[in-house]
Amino acid sequence: MYTRILAAFALGCALTGTALAETVMVNDKLEVRESQMATPKRGTTMSDVEKRFGAPVDKHPTVGQPPITRWDYNGFAVVFERDRVIDSVVTGG
């Protein structure tokens, strides 16, 4: 079950491209705006992410083939394939 959820998350991330957005409520309407939060770019190595953004709040276990790993930071998550970023997602947390 966990593997399916992570695979769906990774696929969703891959399909979103590199655009980052935040959802906000304005006058009781849900709107989406581009995020200004700095996040790692696709292709960045794990070591470069840790050098720039510091240690993650949580490192999830690697799953699947190819190996997929997720690191959670305050406000965003980074998904890696092997040791390279495949996507960053603003979580707002």
Per the DSSP assignment, residues forming a β-bridge with 68 are: 63, 81
Determine the Cα–Cα distance for residues 53 and 56; give it in Å rounded to an integer: 8
Q: How far is residue 50's CA from residue 11's CA, in Å, rounded to a whole number?
A: 23
Q: What is the largest CA-CA distance in the chain?
A: 45
d(CA 63, CA 60): 9
Residue 75, CA atoms < 13 Å, CB-side half-sphere: 10
pLDDT one-digit tens code per residue, 50-92: 999 999 999 999 999 999 999 999 999 999 999 999 999 988 7
pTM: 0.65
**Which pLDDT tens digit goes with each residue over 8-45?**
555 555 544 444 455 566 677 776 667 788 999 999 99
